[in-house]
Amino acid sequence: MRKSSRLVLALDETDKAKALSIAESVSGIVDAIKINWPLVLSAGPEMITELSKYSDVICDFKVADIPNTVHLIVEGSLNRGASAVIVHAFPGSDSLKEAVQVAKGRGKIYAVTEMSHPGGKEFTAPNAEAMARMGVECGVDGFIAPATRPERISAIREIIGDLEILSPGVGAQGGKASDAIAAGADYVIVGRAIYKSNDPKSVAESYAEDICKIL
Ligand code: BMP
């Protein structure tokens, strides 16, 4: 994944034609497009391959399972053209190691530490540091940490050294892109604020400009 605008679009748009048109319009601006179950369930897993024509695709399947199932999901995503897959850390080191091993040389694995919504404080926050340490030991490429609580990005950064941080929670959830990058995120993930706007391309450009100002 290139590191240019540091902006990742969360394309949770469920209308296939709209999703493809947005992807095309922002392809020169965003560093990657992240897709999740809403788009895959409405438009099919072939969207992974179709979107990979416009941008690197991160499959945010938040895989949380036994190693064999993790293996099958990560492999299936990469086979369809994904550049990276997001997995949960909480199933433990054997599941995480399996994801890393399947993706080796083919794509990246990002592990969720602390989630960005208010409920993320209940179970993920108290265990985020331990999950980050485990992720480092298991060889993941990076982590998901919340733009809604930038101080938590800094806490995770201290544990993981130079590994990547992708930070959701910007825009609709109230976080600011520049705060997340200043706290140590490599990329911010923005969904509704871009794909629900009347002009996704201009909004993506203005996020990219905001980020650029503090680099
Ligand atoms: P939005 O900008 O519309 O809030 O979208 C954020 C995206 O990031 C969604 O796809 C969501 O599933 C994902 N996400 C998140 O919001 N918080 C997390 O802690 C982890 C996520 O993957």
At 56-100, the pLDDT tens digits run 999 999 999 999 999 999 999 999 999 999 999 999 999 999 999
97 is catalytic: no
Helix (H) or strand (E) holding 8: strand 7-10
In our burial notation (b when 16+ CB lie closer than 10 A, e otherwise), range 60-72 reads bbebebebeebbe
Give the tens place of pLDDT for each residue, 162-210: 999 999 999 999 999 999 999 999 999 999 999 999 999 999 999 999 9
One of 62, 121, 176, 201 is an active-site residue; which one?
A: 62
* Closest ligand 1 atom to 170 CA: 2
Ligand 1 neighbour 10 (Cβ under 6 A): yes
Q: Is 114 in the pocket of ligand 1 (CB under 6 A)?
A: no
Q: What is the pLDDT of residues 6-29, one digit of tens each?
A: 999 999 999 999 999 999 999 999
